[in-house]
């Protein structure tokens, strides 16, 4: 592992939800694992002029208490490392004041000028902040400077391109870390090791052996209190263009020549470029109505707080995609994601082709299934490979049984995605971050759907989505593989 040099971690949105729930706890955990380097400080930046260093320190202590850190430990950790700077209007003078504060903290603590600027902000605040940093000369420093941009990166191809152009006006691509937190999940990273370190699977990973691939990212929660953001985004922008597409790229990509950022991202971009045009008949959009999940009654989307009357936002998307290359020609990739579904489940099911002939037919029932590989990404992370076996009885009867591996049994606790991603930013490893070209290639594929007005199918909260999503598969003789418990 590369050493983490002393650095200043500047969080824009320093008093916000992401900083509190994810970033401060992730930095603290890295510190407890001795991975933060020998010196480190955190500077929270936000609009509030009434906040100061002490206020942010007690806020950071609360964040750590919520994450289960004891009061003494949290106090010691925050007191000499957490600072606050207000930036109420984002003016040039305020950015200059920020630059001076950064130099002062670095001078006082003996930090060499390595800086992370983490934009934990609403997307509308990305452009002025990036421009403000650049114009104040904060895009360069005596050490290294890295810019971390949260999702969503743009809301369509044009806005993603514009945002990339702005980033590149002030920062080099090698300084930019676009976050997709799915890439920080251990089980998502493990897809690469699973595929490229185990030759038995790689030799089956193609159109000759695979019937179809099904990716499900289901959430049992509804929109909750986030309608203000979500109603303007919808499931396609919120989940498909980024998280679900990342899973697709990792499952479908070619073997990279080496395991470094350029090679891995280059192969992912090739998948996106090979994706065929998505036609209206390949898409099903849905919206949850009232229903029940785990025995509790759940409101429909239109009755959730802050959802505007007449909303036409989708909370479910299902897609049938084709990848037009030698490996995948003719293999459908089915994707679905939705809110208010029966359970939280991220699962990739790879259905292999059936045995071409059933030689057991004359001996009894012959219900040969497909061998299926289930990659369970969350929760209960693990793999299951399903085989047909003979039941010990006559007449000959077959049953499909799982061969499974459970992540937690082997490794215990799995690190949080943000811990991995923050560490990668600090060590300068961009492999798990999204390249400019990748964001644009992904938006380019989904733009036509965003611009068309497709019907919105209702589904009851607590169901697996609208019936039309089943028809997408039925038209090719497939059905959704049920969740398999690991």
Report the alpha-carbon distance of residue 261 to residue 271 in Å, rounded. 16
Token pair recorded at residue 297? 């009654």
SS3 8: strand
Q: Which of 238, 267, 314, 424 binds ligand BG6 (CB under 6 A)?
A: 238
Longest dimension (CA), the chain: 85
Cβ 246 to ligand BG6 shortest distance, Å: 11
Cβ 179 to ligand BG6 shortest distance, Å: 9
The residue (of 230 and 480) whose beta carbon lies closer to ligand BG6 is 230
The residue (of 219 and 231) whose beta carbon lies closer to ligand BG6 is 219
Alpha carbon distance, N-terminus to C-terminus of the chain:
31
Task: Lay out the site mask for ligand BG6 across 388-417 (x = CB under 6 A, - = otherwise).
Answer: ------------------------------
The residue (of 81 and 185) whose beta carbon lies closer to ligand BG6 is 185
Token pair recorded at residue 237? 């922008």
The residue (of 136 and 218) whose beta carbon lies closer to ligand BG6 is 218
A 10 A CB-CB count for 1 gives 7
Cβ 238 to ligand BG6 shortest distance, Å: 5
Q: Which residue in 28, 181, 243, 481 is the catalytic one?
A: 243
Cβ 190 to ligand BG6 shortest distance, Å: 15
Cβ 395 to ligand BG6 shortest distance, Å: 46
Burial class (CB in 10 A: 0-12, 13-18, 19+), 459: buried
Residue 398 exposure: Cα atoms within 13 Å on the Cβ side: 18
Question: b/e for 314-329, b at 16 or more Cβ within 10 A?
Answer: bbbbbbbbbbeeebbe
Report the alpha-carbon distance of residue 387 to residue 401 in Å, rounded. 5
Q: Which of 94, 106, 211, 219 binds ligand BG6 (CB under 6 A)?
A: 219
Cβ 151 to ligand BG6 shortest distance, Å: 6
Torsions phi, psi for 105 (to 5 deg): -60, -45
Task: Lay out the site mask for ligand BG6 across 149-178 (x = CB under 6 A, - = otherwise).
Answer: --x---------------------------
The residue (of 56 and 421) whose beta carbon lies closer to ligand BG6 is 421
Residue nearest to ligand BG6 (CB): 238
For ligand BG6, the binding residues in 95-154 under the rule CB under 6 A are 151
- Reported residue count of the chain is 486
Known active-site residue 168:
no
The residue (of 72 and 294) whose beta carbon lies closer to ligand BG6 is 294
Strands 382-390 and 398-406, how do they pair?
Answer: antiparallel
SS3 178: strand
Cβ 442 to ligand BG6 shortest distance, Å: 14
Torsions phi, psi for 243 (to 5 deg): -60, -50
Based on the shown chain and the rule CB under 6 A, indicate whether residue 94 belongs to the binding site for ligand BG6: no
Number of residues that bind ligand BG6 (CB under 6 A): 3
CA-CA-CA-CA torsion sign (449, 452, 458, 461): positive
The residue (of 219 and 381) whose beta carbon lies closer to ligand BG6 is 219
Q: Residue 319 belongs to what H/E stretch?
A: strand 316-321
Residues in contact with ligand BG6 by CB under 6 A are: 151, 219, 238
Catalytic residues: 243
């Amino acid at each position: 592992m590369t050493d983490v040099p002393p650095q200043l971690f500047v969080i824009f949105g320093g008093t916000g939800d992401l900083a509190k729930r994810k970033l401060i706890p992730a930095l603290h955990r890295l510190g407890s694992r001795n991975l933060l380097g020998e010196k480190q400080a955190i500077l929270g930046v936000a609009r509030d002029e009434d906040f100061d260093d002490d206020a942010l320190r007690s806020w950071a202590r609360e964040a750590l208490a919520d994450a289960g850190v004891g009061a003494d430990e949290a106090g010691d950790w925050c007191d000499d490392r957490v600072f606050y700077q207000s930036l109420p209007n984002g003016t040039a003078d305020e950015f200059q004041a920020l630059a001076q504060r950064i130099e002062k903290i670095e001078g006082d603590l003996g930090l060499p000028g390595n800086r992370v600027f983490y934009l934990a902000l609403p997307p509308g605040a990305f452009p002025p902040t990036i421009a403000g940093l650049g114009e104040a000369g904060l895009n360069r420093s005596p050490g290294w400077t890295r810019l971390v941009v949260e999702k969503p990166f743009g809301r369509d191809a044009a806005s993603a391109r514009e945002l990339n152009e702005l980033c590149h006006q002030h920062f080099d691509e090698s300084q930019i870390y676009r976050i997709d937190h799915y890439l920080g999940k251990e089980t998502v990273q493990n897809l690469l090791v699973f595929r490229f370190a185990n030759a038995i699977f790689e030799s089956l990973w193609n159109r000759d052996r695979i019937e179809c691939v099904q990716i499900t990212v289901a959430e049992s929660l509804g929109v909750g209190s986030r309608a203000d953001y979500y109603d303007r985004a919808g499931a396609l922008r919120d989940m498909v263009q980024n998280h679900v597409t990342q899973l697709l790229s990792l499952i479908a990509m070619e073997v990279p020549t080496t395991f470094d950022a350029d090679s891995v991202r280059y192969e992912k971009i090739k998948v996106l470029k090979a994706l065929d045009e998505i036609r209206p008949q390949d898409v099903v959009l849905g919206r949850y109505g009232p229903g029940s999940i785990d025995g509790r009654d759940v409101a429909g989307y239109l009755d959730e707080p802050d959802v505007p009357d007449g909303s036409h936002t989708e909370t479910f998307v299902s897609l049938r995609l084709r990848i037009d290359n030698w490996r995948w020609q003719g293999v459908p990739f089915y994707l679905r994601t939705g809110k208010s579904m029966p359970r939280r489940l991220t699962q990739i099911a790879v259905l292999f082709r059936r045995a071409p002939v059933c030689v057991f037919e004359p001996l009894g029932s012959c219900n040969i299934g497909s061998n299926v590989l289930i990659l369970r990404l969350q929760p209960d992370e693990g793999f299951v490979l399903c085989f047909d076996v003979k039941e010990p009885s006559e007449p000959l009867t077959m049953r499909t049984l799982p061969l499974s591996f459970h992540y937690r049994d082997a490794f215990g606790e799995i690190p949080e995605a943000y811990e991995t991603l923050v560490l990668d930013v600090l060590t300068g490893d961009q492999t798990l971050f999204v390249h400019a070209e990748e964001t644009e290639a992904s938006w380019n594929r989904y733009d036509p759907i965003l611009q068309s007005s497709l019907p919105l199918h209702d589904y009851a909260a607590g169901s697996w989505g609208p019936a039309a999503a089943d028809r997408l598969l039925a038209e090719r003789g497939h059905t959704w593989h049920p969740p398999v418990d690991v």
